[in-house]
Amino acid sequence: MSNVNISKLKEIVGEANVIDSSSEMAKYLKGPGKPAVVVLPGKTSEVSSIVKLANEQNVKLAVGGAVVNTQGITGGIAMVMSRMNQIVEMDKLNLVAIVEPGLLHKDFILKVAETGLNFPPEPYEVETSSVGGCFSIGDSDSKSFEYGPTRTFLLGFEMVLPTGEILEIGNKCIKNVSGLDFIHFAVGSQGTFGIFTKLLVKLLPQPEAKKAVIGTFASLHKANATFNTLIKRNVHPTRMNLINASFAKIAKPGTEGQLVIIDLQGFKESGKNIANEVASVLTLAGGFDVKIIEDAVEYDEVINGWLKVRAELNAKPERTVEFVVGPMKMPQALAQLEALTGDLGAYPGIIVEGLLGYVGLALPEGTEKLALATKVNKLAMSLGGNVKGLLGHKLKAEVYNDAEMWKQTTSLLNELRQQFDPKGILSPGVSLEA
């Protein structure tokens, strides 16, 4: 039985914005849990009232942009932010925007581009990811070498805390060290410190020119070897990515082989020269169909193909092993990985973000993720890296044989969470134990 006071919710957001029939709820939900109700707030004060209500009744609540992950909120409230989707302000002079969290990430990128500006972070799920979710996950992506990870683009926010209180912080200054840096600490907190209700986002001018160089390779390892060549030549593109043959078919239908995508965002003059340099490196290394892409439509197609593959991996974290090594160690990493897994071609897919030394490996159904991740982490550590994120930390501590450190880390994380959310109301599906 659920304690959710549906009629009270209706009072807060209006009848039309509370949905409690399971057939209608379905399109807002994903994951294993069965929340009692979906609620769509229209403004900050409503978000606050809903969270206060959840506290009073000790009901769990999770939030999403268009779709909510229901993990941990059976009998609880799923809060969908899609009605809060306005750009409150686009300030070209200061290169910032104030935006509501429910705006879809892809729509935000378009709106920003229309004003001649640039919001670099990649959407996580192309179709459903929201701006609030982007900062809530707070990842890095294949453009981070040049632009910095997602957190770089947050200057402030309004947030409803797990107690329902409203917190505002930050300003339009690009340098700000006042107080403790809760602004950037909140990035990546996955809805555990609070619900973003407004974001003050840093933007950049659009690059003068965008180009891509693509090429196809028969061998994954040969394709990857070109990245070391480029780094040694002191060429640091915006993206330097590799998609294996099976995923390449999703990214660019008709591709036969491993697809290399080099994205060059910058100035016209250098862009031309670097594109030529990259094209010759790819060709010399045995790449075929090497092509410099200047046409805007074709360029977008290539990039969107990349994002589609990325989303494919992002959607199945339980069936993906992600790790990072020193970028120049990638050839060894792939060789050693293959020694562990056997022919990588037999896997559903693999991608490499060359500038970051990142590998995402999609696992076949039935693979023991933890067992593989443990081995992969050892491999990665010997090459100056580790498995990504919280899981990586746990595995690293295991390798150091330092249970104490892991214990200390998790107890600090849990203490922080508890300080902000004493009743454990928000985002219960998010685990800080790995």
Partner 1 sequence: MLSQTVVKRLKEIVGEKNVVTDKVGLLTYGYDGTLLSGEALGVVSPTTTDQVVEIVKLMNEHDIKLVPRGAGTNESGGTIPSQEAIVISFTKMTKIHEIDTENFVAVVEPGVINFDLQVELAKQNFYFPPDPSSFKASTIGGNLGECSGGPKCFKYGVTRDYMLGLEVVLPNGKVIQTGGRNFQSEPGYDLTRIIVGSEGILGLVTKVFVRILPIPRAKKTMLALYDKVEDASQTVADIVAAGIIPTTLELMDNLLINTTEDFTHAGLPRDAGAVLIIEVDGYPEDMDEQVKTIGEIASKIAKEFKVAQTAVEVDQIWTSRRSAFGSVARVRPSYGVNDITVPRSNFPKAIGGVLKVAKDFGVTIGVVAHAGDGNLHPLILFDQRNKEETETVHKAEQALCMMALDLEGTISGEHGIGLVKKKYLDKEFTPAAMEAFRKIKRSFDPTNRFNPGKIIDL
Ligand X SMILES: Cc1cc2nc3c(=O)[nH]c(=O)nc-3n(C[C@H](O)[C@H](O)[C@H](O)COP(=O)(O)OP(=O)(O)OC[C@H]3O[C@@H](n4cnc5c(N)ncnc54)[C@H](O)[C@@H]3O)c2cc1C
Using CB under 6 A, which residues numbered 398 to 427 contact ligand X?
Answer: 427
Instruction: Rule CB under 6 A: say whether 76 interacts with ligand X.
Output: no
Instruction: Rule CB under 6 A: say whether 263 interacts with ligand X.
Output: no
Instruction: Tell me the closest approach of the beta carbon of residue 234 to partner 1, in angstroms.
Output: 6
Instruction: Tell me the closest approach of the beta carbon of residue 351 to ligand X, in angstroms.
Output: 15
Question: Could you tell me which stretch among 133-141, 146-154, 283-291, 292-300 binds ligand X (CB under 6 A)?
Answer: 133-141
Residue 134 or 381 having the CB closest to ligand X: 134
Instruction: Rule CB under 6 A: say whether 67 interacts with ligand X.
Output: yes
**Alpha-carbon distance 390 to 397, whole Å?**
11
Instruction: Rule CB under 6 A: say whether 287 interacts with ligand X.
Output: no
Out of 33, 76, 121, 132, point to the residue binding ligand X (CB under 6 A).
Answer: 132
Out of 49, 118, 130, 226, point to the residue binding ligand X (CB under 6 A).
Answer: 130
CB 237 within 8 A of CB 355: yes
Instruction: Rule CB under 6 A: say whether 149 interacts with ligand X.
Output: no
The one of ligand X, partner 1, none whose footprint includes residue 168, by CB under 5 to 8 A per kind, is partner 1
Out of 49, 128, 216, 224, point to the residue binding ligand X (CB under 6 A).
Answer: 128
Q: Strands 258-266 and 239-243, how do they pair?
A: antiparallel
Main-chain phi, psi angles of 283, to 5 degrees: -65, -50
Instruction: Tell me the closest approach of the beta carbon of residue 255 to ligand X, in angstroms.
Output: 24
Using CB under 6 A, which residues numbered 299 to 318 contact ligand X?
Answer: 314-315, 317-318
Residue 191 or 385 having the CB closest to ligand X: 191
Site string for ligand X, 3-42 (x = CB under 6 A): ---------------------------xx-----------
The one of partner 1, ligand X, none whose footprint includes residue 195, by CB under 5 to 8 A per kind, is ligand X
Instruction: Rule CB under 6 A: say whether 101 interacts with ligand X.
Output: yes
Instruction: Tell me the closest approach of the beta carbon of residue 35 to ligand X, in angstroms.
Output: 13
Residue 161 or 225 having the CB closest to ligand X: 161
Residue 110 or 405 having the CB closest to partner 1: 405
Instruction: Tell me the closest approach of the beta carbon of residue 315 to ligand X, in angstroms.
Output: 5
The one of ligand X, partner 1, none whose footprint includes residue 413, by CB under 5 to 8 A per kind, is partner 1
Residues near ligand X (CB under 6 A) are: 30-31, 62-67, 69, 81, 101, 124-125, 128-130, 132-133, 136-137, 190-191, 195-196, 314-315, 317-318, 427
